Chain A
Amino acid sequence: DVKVTQSSRYLVKRTGEKVFLECVQDMDHENMFWYRQDPGLGLRLIYFSYDVKMKEKGDIPEGYSVSREKKERFSLILESASTNQTSMYLCASRYTGALSPLHFGNGTRLTVT
């Protein structure tokens, strides 16, 4: 069974702090994704990566950066957290290929005060 693990279930940070959200997958997937989920807005793609050290912007990359130094790990970085980044963050991974589904972690609920 594929496992996508997000390092924290709940996180509380202060405005201006640098925040790291970590995601690890154990199935050798090439592709990894970061989404944020907000009421009424559904899931929105922040960044994705199709290979080590490669990254692509999604629909809402502003205020975020990512790092993929190893295939199994994809980090989302909030350089200077703001209150409008309070949200549920979901990591996902998948193989390359038309039939391969996304596998999600259980999310990190981030609150920025």
Chain B
Amino acid sequence: DAKTTQPNSMESNEEEPVHLPCNHSTISGTDYIHWYRQLPSQGPEYVIHGLTSNVNNRMASLAIAEDRKSSTLILHRATLRDAAVYYCILRGGNQFYFGTGTSLTVIP
């Protein structure tokens, strides 16, 4: 049973904002929402996480729905280096539940 659902792939033009959606309708009250990305030939790397409120850091913003059943990772200006697979993950305790991710293509 998938804990998160993401589109398989998305495209964006360079220097435009990108909104990557994630559904997690079975989220529990103590699950944190994490986002990681995986560049080609590398392991995943942390992007951002949140619990209930929207979050910003130098890499991205995370918008969390009021009912917490969905979230959106926002890249404010996509660059070619942002081309990667983006994973939306629920963290419960010490377990991180990865979905299959969204492969983001950035078009020059």
Tier of interface size on chain B? 10 to 19
* Stretch in B19-27, B66-74, B98-106 with 4+ CB within 8 Å of A: B98-106
Q: How far is the CA of A43 from the CA of B100 in the complex (A)?
A: 7
Residues in B with CB closer than 8 Å to A31 are: 94
Residues in B with CB closer than 8 Å to A44 are: 98
Binding site for A on B (CB under 8 A): 32, 34, 36, 41-46, 49, 87, 94-96, 98-101
User: Given A45-B95, A102-B96, is A4 in contact with B46 using a C-beta cutoff of 8 Å?
Assistant: no
CB of A106 within 8 Å of the partner chain: yes
Tier of interface size on chain A? 20 to 34
Q: How far is the CA of A33 from the CA of B99 in the complex (A)?
A: 17
Q: From A31, which residue of chain B is reached at the shortest CB distance?
A: B94
Binding site for B on A (CB under 8 A): 4, 31, 33, 35, 40-45, 48, 50, 56, 58, 90, 92, 96, 98-99, 101-107
Q: Which of B41, B43, B95 contacts A104 (CB 8 A)?
A: B43
Q: How far is the CA of A50 from the CA of B93 in the complex (A)?
A: 11
Q: From B34, which residue of chain A is reached at the shortest CB distance?
A: A101
Are the CB atoms of A102 and B100 closer together than 8 Å?
no
B1 to chain A, nearest CB (A): 11
Are the CB atoms of B43 and A40 closer together than 8 Å?
no
